Amino acid sequence: MNLNSHRPRRQSPVLQNRTIIPNDMVTSHPEQFSFYPGAIHAHWHATANAKGFDITGRILDRYHLALRCHACSHVHASRIYTVMSVQPQCPACMLARLQRDAEAAGVTHLRRDPEHRQYSFYRASCGHDVRRQHEIIRRVAAGVTDLRCETCHAATEAREARKRGWMLVGPDPEGDPNYRLYAHADGCGAQQRIARVNMRTGRFECSCCGEGWAASRSYLYAMSFTLANGRDLVKLGYSRDPESRLLHQLRIARTMPCEILRVVEMASGHQAIRTEKGLHTELRETHPDAVVDPLLYRGQIRVRSEIYDATLTPLILSMLDGIETQAAAA
pLDDT classification of 187: cutoffs 50, 70, 90 = confident
- Residue spans per domain, the chain: 23-89, 92-141, 159-201, 218-329
| Of 20 and 292, more confident | 292
Residue 52 predicted with pLDDT over 90: yes
Span 66-94, mean pLDDT?
94
Lowest mean pLDDT among 12-21, 29-38, 101-110: 12-21
Q: What percentage of the chain carries pLDDT values higher than 70?
A: 88
| Of 13 and 208, more confident | 208
Residue 31 predicted with pLDDT over 80: no
Lowest mean pLDDT among 188-197, 207-216, 246-255, 301-310: 207-216
Residue 269 predicted with pLDDT over 50: yes
pLDDT classification of 12: cutoffs 50, 70, 90 = very low
Span 69-95, mean pLDDT?
94
Residue 11 predicted with pLDDT over 60: no
Note if the pTM is more than 0.75. Answer: no
Q: What percentage of the chain carries pLDDT values higher than 90?
A: 70
Tell me the pLDDT tens digit for each residue of 205-238.
887 777 665 567 889 999 999 999 999 999 999 9
Side by side, which strands form the sheet with 258-266? 258-266, 218-226, 232-239, 307-309
Residue 29 predicted with pLDDT over 60: no
Residue 27 predicted with pLDDT over 80: no
Q: What is the pLDDT of residue 212?
A: 63
What average pLDDT does the structure give for the chain?
A: 87
Span 119-142, mean pLDDT?
95
